[in-house]
Structure 1
Amino acid sequence: MDKILVIDDNSAVGQALTVLFTLHGFETATALTPQAGLNRLAEGDISLVVQDMNFSADTTSGEEGKALFFAIRERFADLPIILLTAWTELETAVELVKAGAADYLAKPWDDAKLIATVKNLLELAELNAKQQIRASERHQRRQAIADKFDLGGLVYQSDAMQQLLEMALQVAKAEVSVLITGPNGAGKEKIADIIQRNSSVAKGPFIRVNAGALPIELMEAELFGAEPGAFTGLNKTRIGRFEAADGGTLFLDEIGNLSLAGQMKLLRVLQTGEFERLGSTQTRKVNVRLISATNSDLPGAIAAGDFREDLYYRLNVIELTLAPLKNRAEDILPLARHFLAGRPLTLEACRALENHDWPGNVRELENCLKRAALLASNERIDVGDLNLPPQAMRRPRPAFEPDEQQLREVLARAPSISEAARLLGLSRQALYRRLEKYGITPP
């Protein structure tokens, strides 16, 4: 059960609020002085504070309440605080709300409004606590994976990438073919690299072939090799990628571009491990783990007669689907900072990066930031350096994870904690958590 602490020098106020809160299912503790209130808070188990603004006789300035508020805020940054005030202290109460107080009510208070405010604040506090627990659990899961597996420097933050990564690592040791689907530039090759690094053939070669970048007439020679004279201009033996990958992994990107003849040979290799070079009758045998990738609609290609159904099911023992970058927006800023290698971004640049759709996905993001780093006139990358379309600056600004330098910059120019939270797109509670994370004392 939630417990509310009432700090007021008038015992009648404490008694009245105790009765009111008890009728609505809340436990209540009371304190007559600021120090007694702080001592009670130190004991723990308080979910919300209702505090007066004056404690000494004939005092109406509200300075005592102001000092108490900041003392509580310094020690218990996320604790909701409701101010009880006379009209003479209204200006001070408004100032404290801007600094993080949850609400203020004039004496005599409206019971219904006070109870509604208390319930809303306690529900919000419970939601924030659950979010913190989930965030902690996510961090622990990610740290456990990073400690146990070789992620090859993968940079990510989103739950979507976390789930895909966990599945990729689960199948890495299995002797099965993996098909990675997703849009161009989303990072399919990076996932294939992680599977190879954590596979039973991790010490073997990892050979990459982009089927989309090769003419169809050269595709079979590239994969299976060719003998001299197999086609015009070839005067020496050409070792194919399957032979080069023997004992390791072959990553075949844009598998949908493979010719039907090449598909037939690929199917045979998957079934038997055997193939012949172009222009040769000698059968060769290899042991290769195949990871393929495509941005094509392979079921649609099967229906059109452009892709073999039997090959599809051989390739698709395990399918990993990589979401486009716009659907895992939490990854944008961590990737951006990685590509900039330490160069800072302004707040406006961060917002523009998160607002853009990134049709070219991670590859487009990397190219954008490399260009910005080369052309920016200042050390800090600003929104104008990104050369993004105007709509990236006009759409709603999502919340993001600011770094320490951005927090200090916004705090220095914002008139209050409330305004700093608004500029950062965060709740006050979320901002206080980040200040605590970096050891920053609120101004």
Structure 2
Amino acid sequence: MRRILIIDDNPAVGQALSLLLSLHDIQAEVALTPADGLAALDRGPVDVVIQDMNFSADTTSGAEGAALFRAIRERQPDLPVILLTAWTRLEAAVELVKAGAADYLAKPWDDAKLVATVENLLELSESTREVARVRDERRRRREALAQRHDLGGIVYASEAMERTLELACQVARSELPVLVSGPNGSGKERIAATVHANSAVRDGPFVAVNCGALPAELIEAELFGAESGAFTGAGKSRDGRFDAADGGTLFLDEIGTLPLPGQVKLLRVLETGRFERVGSSRTRQVRVRVISATNADLKAMVRAGSFREDLYYRLNVIEVALPPLAQRRDDVLPLAEHFLAGRAQLGDAARAQLLAHAWPGNVRELKNVIERAALLARGGPITPDLLGLPPVEPAMARNLDEPSRDAVVAALARADGVVSRAAAALGLSRQALYRRMERYGLPV
């Protein structure tokens, strides 16, 4: 049930306000002193407070009203408060509005305006509770996921990344091959490491191989090992990466670059666990969980004949698709703060710039940008010029500068109520967002 608290030392005012609000199906409780009002707050949740500014013979200062407002804010920082007064200096009321009061109405009040203000604030309270509920639910889900599984310190806030991590942890329990797909720099190796860390072979080695970084003529030797004299430069026998990963996980990054001969041998290992070193006819046996990753369209490569269809389906028993950073913008600022590690602070304009950027290089690009900016900032605030990113397009800036009320509420929810982060997401300064929050009746 919605609860309005009226705090006014004039019983007639309290009675008139209660009657007015009851005509609009809004129930109100009246307190005649600041102490009684604060006690009423302590008894249970209140949606909106209407408070007088004058409780003493000094009817022009509003000192007791200001003290009451500050006490309310200390108890419930997000509680909407309407200031009512006939004599208080306007400057005093304006200062309290700047400090977070929802509105200021003079006595005698306009009935329609007062009721409309209260109804808007009640709607806001419901929205605020929903924002808090969603924020708390998302926080609890992240905490529960981290408690159930080893996430290796992965920093995220987006629902898209949460779904990716949940799937990675779910498939980790199987010994089936996993294909991690996603663009370069998006963190595919981190996802592969998460699968390994939550698998039955987590105590075994995790061996990562970037297939794209190896010369084509050496890939087979790197993966499967080679006997002495098998090729020029092979002065002695050597183990391959499958040997090194025995009892653990082998992560094959950029699997699409593996040449066709290597694909044939890899398929056999996946099917039987057996292989031969280059230059040897002796079969070796290993137990390895294979996780592969690609930024290429393997289906298109199959159609083009550059990737074996049977290997594709063997590798892609379970696919974990990692979205690009542009599709999980809620992760941008948490990642940026993580990469900064307290060495510098992001200014509001820099935050807006980070959120507006398309991030074609994904998390890797973000890390490089932040590392460079932190170095140039020398401990000071990071400004847009230090990021070295393209400026925000004017059209985008105009759109961001006039967010709707729903957009503001949604941004605050995504930012866990942190105004500076929500402001950056909307492309506003904190002061500009505060003004819009006041305009929309949102608690400041």
| Partner residue in 2 for 1:354 | 355
Cα shift readout 1:351-409 (whole Å, capped 9, x = no counterpart): 433332222111112222333344444455444433233338984487786999x99xx
Cα shift readout 1:67-103 (whole Å, capped 9, x = no counterpart): 3222222222111111223386444333322211111
Instruction: Note if contact 1:212-1:253 (Cα within 8 Å) is conserved in structure 2.
Output: yes
| Partner residue in 2 for 1:436 | none
| Partner residue in 2 for 1:85 | 85
| Partner residue in 2 for 1:333 | 333
| Partner residue in 1 for 2:115 | 115
Identity of aligned residues (%): 60
Q: Which 4+ runs in 1 deviate beyond 6 A?
A: 397-400, 423-426, 428-432
Instruction: Note if contact 1:343-1:381 (Cα within 8 Å) is conserved in structure 2.
Output: no
Instruction: Note if contact 1:180-1:293 (Cα within 8 Å) is conserved in structure 2.
Output: yes
Q: Hey, what's the Cα distance between the residues in 1 that align with 2:436 and 2:152?
A: 32
Tell me how far 1:290 sits from its aligned partner: 0.5
Instruction: Note if contact 1:353-1:392 (Cα within 8 Å) is conserved in structure 2.
Output: no
Taking structure 1 as the reference length, the TM-score comes to 0.84
* Alignment of 1:104 onto 2:82: no
Q: Hey, what's the Cα distance between the residues in 2 that align with 1:194 and 1:426?
A: 42
| Partner residue in 1 for 2:231 | 231
Q: Hey, what's the Cα distance between the residues in 1 that align with 2:122 and 2:82?
A: 12
Instruction: Note if contact 1:343-1:380 (Cα within 8 Å) is conserved in structure 2.
Output: no
Q: How does 1:311-390 map to 2 (within 5 A)?
A: 311-347=311-347, 348-378=349-379, 380-390=381-391
For 1:363, give the aligned amino acid.
Answer: R
Q: Secondary structure at the match of 1:219?
A: helix
| Partner residue in 2 for 1:192 | 192
1:90 to 1:295, Cα distance in 2 relative to 1, 3 A = same
Q: Hey, what's the Cα distance between the residues in 1 that align with 2:434 and 2:271?
A: 56
Instruction: Note if contact 1:346-1:383 (Cα within 8 Å) is conserved in structure 2.
Output: no
| Partner residue in 1 for 2:405 | none
Tell me how far 1:239 sits from its aligned partner: 2.2
Taking structure 2 as the reference length, the TM-score comes to 0.84
1:33 to 1:373, Cα distance in 2 relative to 1, 3 A = closer
Q: Secondary structure at the match of 1:5?
A: strand
* Alignment of 1:49 onto 2:49: yes
Q: Secondary structure at the match of 2:359?
A: coil
Instruction: Note if contact 1:205-1:244 (Cα within 8 Å) is conserved in structure 2.
Output: yes
Q: Hey, what's the Cα distance between the residues in 1 that align with 2:363 and 2:416?
A: 20
| Partner residue in 1 for 2:205 | 205
Q: Secondary structure at the match of 1:46?
A: coil
The count of corresponding residues between Structure 1 and Structure 2 is 420
Q: Hey, what's the Cα distance between the residues in 2 that align with 1:431 and 1:29?
A: 21
RMSD: 3.1
Cα shift readout 1:33-90 (whole Å, capped 9, x = no counterpart): 2222222222223211112222346824434433322222222211111122338644
Larger deviation, residues 16-25 vs 263-272: 16-25
1:420 to 1:339, Cα distance in 2 relative to 1, 3 A = closer
Tell me how far 1:330 sits from its aligned partner: 2.7
Instruction: Note if contact 2:253-2:293 (Cα within 8 Å) is conserved in structure 1.
Output: yes
1:135 to 1:290, Cα distance in 2 relative to 1, 3 A = same
1:361 to 1:240, Cα distance in 2 relative to 1, 3 A = same
Larger deviation, residues 211-220 vs 253-262: 211-220
| Partner residue in 2 for 1:180 | 180
